[in-house]
A = this chain, B = another copy of it.
């Protein structure tokens, strides 16, 4: 059985079906065991660790040449991004990263200098967040270069935040600014680990995720997981210099936090955030609303990405 679709055969490929549909079927049948608190579908997996008060947090993420970076990208920046993406998922759950495993799949003609620079970036990002790189794997390939980083860490059993806890009436916030990441920021962003830990210490965060695919794709995911709808005040969206509202909604790879807190806490949270984090913006962008019974959700604007 060849993995590839033959030109004259009727079978469906991942490209035809969309891999989300295929993976949804597959995800429903994955083996589980008693240690699993949160399996596939959120930003990280959560696993019980025996008797302790902390949960094991697990996430893997990969960057592939031609998809997540070009051959022209600086290898140290590619390494930074490969490590920073799972770190951003840890931030999304208010978890503390501790260790990483690095898998490098590379053609034989990859230069040693490129690999050394790649690791400079991996090491820099890991060290910046106190993460130890404890192992990994290398394989040859005849195809595109790929780097996969698997991260593990911990979170207090009563502190982690998933996507599913948002309530109608909660105010929605984003950290930082959105849009224009592909101009370069997608290779150099700062995962919001410290900010996320501060948030769960200082507010009742009901749902949270990191913005990797863009607000227009990610906010509906958070709302769906929480079984609510949402309203967004588009004029309020914090945009990077020169970016349109459309770009702030659709560009993706922002790696900022999107989260919900009860409305009663919103004003005080913003005051305290500003005192703590100074220039880093925290912006109220809208709210979660009751899910329309008819199943027809109000779309707050014409952007197709919110449909």
Contact = CB atoms under 8 A, between A and B. Distances in A.
A152 interface: yes
B33 A130 contact: yes
Contact of A105 (B1, B32, B146): B146
A123 interface: yes
A112 B22 contact: yes
A68 interface: yes
Contact of A103 (B62, B71, B107): B62
Nearest to A2: B71
Contacts of A152: 47, 56, 58, 152
Contacts of A4: 71, 107, 109-111
Interface stretch (A8-16, A173-181, A203-211, A278-286): A8-16
B29 A98 contact: no
Contact of A14 (B35, B44, B115): B115
B14 A67 contact: no
Contacts of A31: 123, 126-127, 131-133
A62 B148 CA distance: 10
Report how many copies the assembly holds.
Answer: 2
Interface in A44-83: 44-45, 47, 49-52, 54, 56, 58-68, 71-72, 74-75
Interface stretch (A136-144, A243-251, A269-277, A299-307): A136-144
A296 interface: no
Contacts of A150: 58, 60, 101, 150
A23 interface: yes
Contacts of A66: 141-142
A152 B44 CA distance: 14
Contacts of A117: 1
Contact of A5 (B50, B59, B111, B131): B111
A219 interface: no
A98 B144 contact: no
- Classify chain A's interface size: 35 or more
Interface of A: 1-5, 11-17, 19, 22-23, 25-26, 29-33, 35-36, 38-40, 44-45, 47, 49-52, 54, 56, 58-68, 71-72, 74-75, 98-99, 101-103, 105-117, 119, 123, 126-127, 130-146, 148, 150, 152, 154
Given A4-B71, A30-B123, A62-B103, 4 more contacts: A11-B111, A19-B138, A62-B137, A67-B139
20 contacts: A1-B74, A1-B75, A2-B71, A3-B75, A13-B110, A14-B106, A14-B111, A19-B138, A22-B115, A26-B115, A31-B132, A36-B134, A45-B101, A58-B101, A60-B137, A62-B139, A64-B105, A66-B142, A141-B143, A142-B144
Shortest 10 CB-CB distances between A and B: which pairs? A143-B143, A15-B108, A45-B134, A150-B150, A143-B144, A30-B133, A60-B101, A45-B135, A33-B132, A31-B127
